[in-house]
Amino acid sequence: MAKYTCTVCGYVYDEALGDPGNGIAPGTKWEDVPQDWTCPLCGAVKADFEGEEAAVKPVAQEAAAAESDAGGSGELSYGEISALFSNLSKGCVKQYRVEEAELFDQLAEFYKAKSGVASEGQLKLIGALVDQDLASGYGQANRIAADAEDRGALRALAWGEKVTRILNSILGRYEKQQDALLENTRIHVCDICGFVYIGDDLPDICPVCKVPNKKITEVIRG
């Protein structure tokens, strides 16, 4: 029987084992798994899984193709700049560069205030920007970090890319389900890498950065 791997967190769905904890009996073929089933570790949708036979393109190849198709990028919005500084702050924290992290945090807050709050009508635009980041942004950043032999940056980028894929999956689910996605359930965020989990039963460890789930904090909604 076949196996399918979550491209976000690495969870493997084995047809022979199924997912009994979520109502999928052993022996259930992939095509018979309901379309609304999600990865039990990170919440990714079925579309984010690949079969064993699927060939994965090298990151650099994907980035080059995306750059060729896009024909270059425009100026960053205030929101994108805020997110960039926020990610740089997290990278500094991982490298114990506290002063730099605080400065990046201040810049992130400054540009966040200038950007305003995104409306629901902007979700598709946000999704398009996330797709662009995944297609080319991380490839470019990884090449720069690799050339500089910056292991800390490479690790932060690896975590950031996985978390971005999770957020992209959540955006896609929200577009279909709207507020029903968040009703009667809890939202958690990993304090270390930003992993987002929607559900009541946390995984034992963060599927992205592998810290114990005591580092995953519930978001209290007003």
Query: Dihedrals φ, ψ of 196, to 5°?
Result: -110, 130
Domain of 16 in residue numbering reads as 3-51
| CATH number of the domain residue 23 falls in | 2.20.28.10
Considering the domain boundaries, does residue 69 fall inside one? no
CA distances from 104 to 30, 64, 88, 93, 100 (A): 44, 29, 7, 10, 6
| One-letter amino acid of 72 | G
Q: What integer pLDDT is reported at residue 21 of this predicted model? A: 85
Q: What integer pLDDT is reported at residue 129 of this predicted model? A: 76
Reported as a single tens digit per residue, the pLDDT across 109-150 is 888 777 654 455 566 677 777 777 788 888 888 899 899 988
Reported as a single tens digit per residue, the pLDDT across 44-81 is 788 888 887 543 444 344 444 444 444 444 566 777 78
Q: The tokens of 6 are what?
A: 């979550």
User: How many independent structural domains does the chain possess?
Assistant: 2
Considering the domain boundaries, does residue 45 fall inside one? yes
Considering the domain boundaries, does residue 85 fall inside one? yes
Considering the domain boundaries, does residue 167 fall inside one? no
The answer to whether the CB of 152 falls within 8 A of the CB of 116 is no
Same domain flag for 9 and 44: yes
Reported as a single tens digit per residue, the pLDDT across 19-38 is 988 899 999 999 999 988 98
Phi-psi region of 167 (alpha: psi -120 to 50; beta: other; left: phi over 0): alpha
The whole model's pTM is what? 0.51
Considering the domain boundaries, does residue 108 fall inside one? yes
Considering the domain boundaries, does residue 12 fall inside one? yes
Considering the domain boundaries, does residue 189 fall inside one? no
Considering the domain boundaries, does residue 122 fall inside one? no
